[in-house]
Protein backbone atom coordinates (compact mmCIF):
# COMPACT_ATOMS: atom_id res chain seq x y z
CA UNK A 1 0.00 0.00 0.00
CA UNK A 2 2.79 2.44 0.84
CA UNK A 3 4.49 1.67 -2.47
CA UNK A 4 1.42 2.79 -4.50
CA UNK A 5 1.46 6.16 -2.70
CA UNK A 6 5.20 6.73 -3.03
CA UNK A 7 5.47 5.98 -6.77
CA UNK A 8 3.07 8.77 -7.92
CA UNK A 9 4.81 11.21 -5.55
CA UNK A 10 8.18 10.31 -7.07
CA UNK A 11 6.76 10.72 -10.56
CA UNK A 12 5.67 14.26 -9.70
CA UNK A 13 9.02 15.01 -8.05
CA UNK A 14 10.90 13.92 -11.18
CA UNK A 15 9.02 15.84 -13.87
CA UNK A 16 5.47 14.56 -13.64
CA UNK A 17 2.42 16.52 -14.76
CA UNK A 18 2.75 19.69 -12.69
CA UNK A 19 5.06 22.54 -13.56
CA UNK A 20 6.92 24.39 -10.80
CA UNK A 21 4.39 27.21 -10.45
CA UNK A 22 1.16 25.26 -10.89
CA UNK A 23 -1.30 25.64 -8.05
CA UNK A 24 0.79 28.34 -6.38
CA UNK A 25 -1.04 31.35 -5.01
CA UNK A 26 0.45 34.46 -6.62
CA UNK A 27 -1.12 36.94 -4.17
CA UNK A 28 -2.97 36.49 -0.86
CA UNK A 29 -4.48 38.91 1.64
CA UNK A 30 -6.28 38.14 4.90
CA UNK A 31 -6.36 41.75 6.21
CA UNK A 32 -4.86 40.67 9.54
CA UNK A 33 -2.33 43.52 9.21
CA UNK A 34 -4.90 46.04 8.04
CA UNK A 35 -4.60 47.41 4.52
CA UNK A 36 -0.86 47.97 4.54
CA UNK A 37 0.40 48.00 0.95
CA UNK A 38 -3.03 48.91 -0.44
CA UNK A 39 -4.16 52.27 -1.82
CA UNK A 40 -7.68 52.95 -0.54
CA UNK A 41 -10.47 55.19 -1.79
CA UNK A 42 -13.84 55.80 -0.18
CA UNK A 43 -15.22 54.65 3.14
CA UNK A 44 -13.80 51.34 4.35
CA UNK A 45 -12.08 49.76 7.34
CA UNK A 46 -10.73 46.57 8.84
CA UNK A 47 -13.19 45.02 11.32
CA UNK A 48 -13.23 41.99 13.62
CA UNK A 49 -15.31 39.09 12.32
CA UNK A 50 -16.27 35.59 13.51
CA UNK A 51 -14.05 35.64 16.62
CA UNK A 52 -11.39 37.88 18.20
CA UNK A 53 -8.27 38.00 16.07
CA UNK A 54 -10.13 37.32 12.82
CA UNK A 55 -10.43 40.36 10.56
CA UNK A 56 -12.06 41.34 7.30
CA UNK A 57 -12.28 44.45 5.18
CA UNK A 58 -15.57 46.36 5.38
CA UNK A 59 -16.33 48.26 2.15
CA UNK A 60 -19.13 50.76 1.59
CA UNK A 61 -20.66 51.56 -1.82
CA UNK A 62 -18.12 53.32 -4.02
CA UNK A 63 -15.11 52.23 -1.92
CA UNK A 64 -12.14 50.58 -3.61
CA UNK A 65 -8.68 49.25 -2.80
CA UNK A 66 -5.72 48.74 -5.14
CA UNK A 67 -2.61 46.62 -4.59
CA UNK A 68 0.38 46.48 -6.95
CA UNK A 69 1.24 43.16 -8.58
CA UNK A 70 4.23 41.98 -10.57
CA UNK A 71 3.17 38.75 -12.26
CA UNK A 72 4.55 38.15 -15.75
CA UNK A 73 3.31 35.30 -17.92
CA UNK A 74 3.92 34.23 -21.51
CA UNK A 75 0.98 33.58 -23.78
CA UNK A 76 0.84 29.94 -24.77
CA UNK A 77 2.69 28.91 -27.92
CA UNK A 78 3.50 25.55 -29.50
CA UNK A 79 6.72 25.45 -27.44
CA UNK A 80 4.69 25.64 -24.23
CA UNK A 81 5.13 22.85 -21.69
CA UNK A 82 1.32 22.62 -21.66
CA UNK A 83 1.09 21.20 -25.18
CA UNK A 84 -2.18 22.64 -26.42
CA UNK A 85 -1.90 25.43 -23.88
CA UNK A 86 -4.79 24.57 -21.59
CA UNK A 87 -4.39 25.88 -18.06
CA UNK A 88 -7.17 25.98 -15.54
CA UNK A 89 -5.45 27.95 -12.81
CA UNK A 90 -6.30 31.60 -13.44
CA UNK A 91 -8.79 32.89 -10.90
CA UNK A 92 -9.61 35.17 -7.98
CA UNK A 93 -11.24 33.79 -4.85
CA UNK A 94 -12.37 35.35 -1.59
CA UNK A 95 -14.62 34.93 1.45
CA UNK A 96 -17.29 37.43 2.29
CA UNK A 97 -20.92 38.31 2.70
CA UNK A 98 -21.14 40.16 -0.62
CA UNK A 99 -24.27 39.04 -2.45
CA UNK A 100 -25.22 39.61 -6.06
CA UNK A 101 -23.05 38.77 -9.05
CA UNK A 102 -19.41 39.84 -8.71
CA UNK A 103 -17.56 40.77 -11.89
CA UNK A 104 -13.94 40.06 -12.82
CA UNK A 105 -12.23 41.95 -15.66
CA UNK A 106 -8.76 42.32 -17.18
CA UNK A 107 -8.10 45.93 -18.20
CA UNK A 108 -5.23 47.79 -19.90
CA UNK A 109 -3.13 50.05 -17.69
CA UNK A 110 -1.62 52.15 -20.49
CA UNK A 111 -2.91 54.25 -23.35
CA UNK A 112 -2.67 52.98 -26.04
CA UNK A 113 -3.30 49.51 -24.64
CA UNK A 114 -0.26 47.26 -24.35
CA UNK A 115 0.60 44.11 -22.43
CA UNK A 116 0.30 45.66 -18.95
CA UNK A 117 -3.00 44.53 -17.43
CA UNK A 118 -4.86 45.27 -14.19
CA UNK A 119 -7.18 42.72 -12.58
CA UNK A 120 -10.47 44.35 -11.44
CA UNK A 121 -12.93 42.64 -9.07
CA UNK A 122 -16.26 44.41 -8.55
CA UNK A 123 -18.39 43.25 -5.60
CA UNK A 124 -22.05 43.87 -6.28
CA UNK A 125 -24.02 43.20 -3.06
CA UNK A 126 -26.28 43.49 -1.19
CA UNK A 127 -24.81 41.73 1.85
CA UNK A 128 -26.18 38.30 2.75
CA UNK A 129 -26.19 36.36 6.01
CA UNK A 130 -22.88 34.64 6.71
CA UNK A 131 -19.65 34.36 4.77
CA UNK A 132 -19.28 32.19 1.69
CA UNK A 133 -16.30 31.36 -0.50
CA UNK A 134 -16.50 32.73 -4.06
CA UNK A 135 -14.24 31.77 -6.97
CA UNK A 136 -14.19 33.66 -10.28
CA UNK A 137 -12.25 32.40 -13.29
CA UNK A 138 -10.29 34.95 -15.34
CA UNK A 139 -12.00 36.09 -18.52
CA UNK A 140 -10.20 35.69 -21.85
CA UNK A 141 -7.27 38.00 -22.42
CA UNK A 142 -8.41 41.34 -23.88
CA UNK A 143 -8.35 41.67 -27.68
CA UNK A 144 -5.44 44.14 -27.58
CA UNK A 145 -3.13 41.31 -26.42
CA UNK A 146 -1.85 39.61 -29.62
CA UNK A 147 -2.68 35.94 -30.08
CA UNK A 148 0.06 33.30 -30.52
CA UNK A 149 1.41 32.58 -33.98
CA UNK A 150 -0.42 30.15 -36.20
CA UNK A 151 2.27 27.79 -37.48
CA UNK A 152 0.12 27.01 -40.54
CA UNK A 153 -0.13 30.71 -41.50
CA UNK A 154 3.06 32.11 -43.10
CA UNK A 155 1.76 35.67 -42.54
CA UNK A 156 1.18 35.28 -38.81
CA UNK A 157 2.85 37.91 -36.59
CA UNK A 158 5.85 37.23 -34.37
CA UNK A 159 5.42 35.45 -31.08
CA UNK A 160 3.21 37.45 -28.72
CA UNK A 161 4.89 39.41 -25.94
CA UNK A 162 4.65 38.49 -22.27
CA UNK A 163 1.65 39.78 -20.32
CA UNK A 164 2.28 41.50 -16.98
CA UNK A 165 -0.44 41.84 -14.34
CA UNK A 166 0.41 45.13 -12.62
CA UNK A 167 -2.34 45.63 -10.04
CA UNK A 168 -5.40 44.16 -8.35
CA UNK A 169 -8.37 46.52 -7.83
CA UNK A 170 -11.35 45.60 -5.66
CA UNK A 171 -14.39 47.89 -5.83
CA UNK A 172 -17.72 47.66 -3.98
CA UNK A 173 -21.13 48.64 -5.29
CA UNK A 174 -22.88 47.76 -2.01
CA UNK A 175 -21.72 47.42 1.60
CA UNK A 176 -20.05 44.08 2.35
CA UNK A 177 -17.13 42.29 4.04
CA UNK A 178 -14.15 40.84 2.15
CA UNK A 179 -11.62 38.37 3.56
CA UNK A 180 -9.07 35.73 2.51
CA UNK A 181 -8.56 37.18 -0.96
CA UNK A 182 -6.34 35.10 -3.27
CA UNK A 183 -5.16 35.54 -6.83
CA UNK A 184 -4.02 32.54 -8.86
CA UNK A 185 -2.22 32.87 -12.19
CA UNK A 186 -1.00 29.36 -12.73
CA UNK A 187 2.15 28.19 -14.46
CA UNK A 188 4.54 30.12 -16.64
CA UNK A 189 2.13 30.44 -19.56
CA UNK A 190 -1.42 31.65 -20.05
CA UNK A 191 -3.45 29.17 -22.06
CA UNK A 192 -6.68 30.68 -23.38
Greatest mean pLDDT among 4-8, 50-54, 68-72, 154-158 lies in 68-72
What pLDDT does residue 101 have? 93
- Report all structural domains of the chain as residue ranges with CATH numbers, in order of start: 19-190 (2.60.120)
- Residue 186 predicted with pLDDT over 80: no
Contacts 24+ apart (CB under 8 A), 37-43: 37/67, 37/68, 38/65, 38/66, 38/67, 39/65, 39/66, 39/67, 40/64, 40/65, 41/65, 41/66, 42/172
- Residue 60 predicted with pLDDT over 80: yes
Band (pLDDT 50/70/90 cuts) for residue 151 is: low
pLDDT tens string 78-123: 555 444 444 556 899 999 999 999 999 999 998 888 889 999 999 9
Amino acid sequence: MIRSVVIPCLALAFGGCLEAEDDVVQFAEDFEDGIEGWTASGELGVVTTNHPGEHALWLTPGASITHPLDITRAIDTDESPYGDGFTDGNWVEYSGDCGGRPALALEPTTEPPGTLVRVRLVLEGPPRDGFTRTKLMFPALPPFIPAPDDDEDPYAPNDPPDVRFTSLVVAAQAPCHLDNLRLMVSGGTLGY
